[in-house]
Amino acid sequence: MPKVKIDVDACISCGVCASMCPDVFVMDPETGKSSVVENFRVGGNKAEGEIPADLVDCARTAADNCPATAITVEE
Ligand code: SF4
């Protein structure tokens, strides 16, 4: 399954990923940083998830547009 990771230390809380790909990313109200939507989290880790193949393009678009290059998508 494709994997997505967020470097929360690098994240500048701009919200671009959550607005471009809301099926994968949601802003964490506790930290103000990006997080993986709950359904796709691995082991409850907000910064790491496994996503369905049909969401890879959307996750990559978000990663490409992240101003902090904080998102990694691996297939
Ligand atoms: S686009 Fe990048 S910097 Fe902006 S909220 Fe998402 S992970 Fe953080």
For residue 52 the two structure tokens come to 């369905």
| Number of separate domains in the chain | 1
Could you read off the pLDDT of 50-67 as tens digits, one per residue? 999 999 999 999 999 999
Our mutation pick for probing the ligand 1 site, out of 19, 20, 34, counting the most ligand atoms within 8 A of Cβ, is 34
CA of 21 to the centre of ligand 1 (A): 11
Q: Which domain holds residue 64?
A: 3-74
Ligand 1 proximity of 12 Cβ (cutoff 6 Å): yes
Report the C-alpha dihedral over residues 64, 67, 69, 73, rounded to 10 degrees. Answer: -40
Ligand 1 proximity of 14 Cβ (cutoff 6 Å): yes
pTM score over 0.95 = yes
pLDDT class of 32 with cuts at 50, 70, 90 = very high
Say which CATH number the domain at 69 has: 3.30.70.20
pLDDT class of 43 with cuts at 50, 70, 90 = very high
> Which residue, chain included where needed, has tokens 């904080």?
70
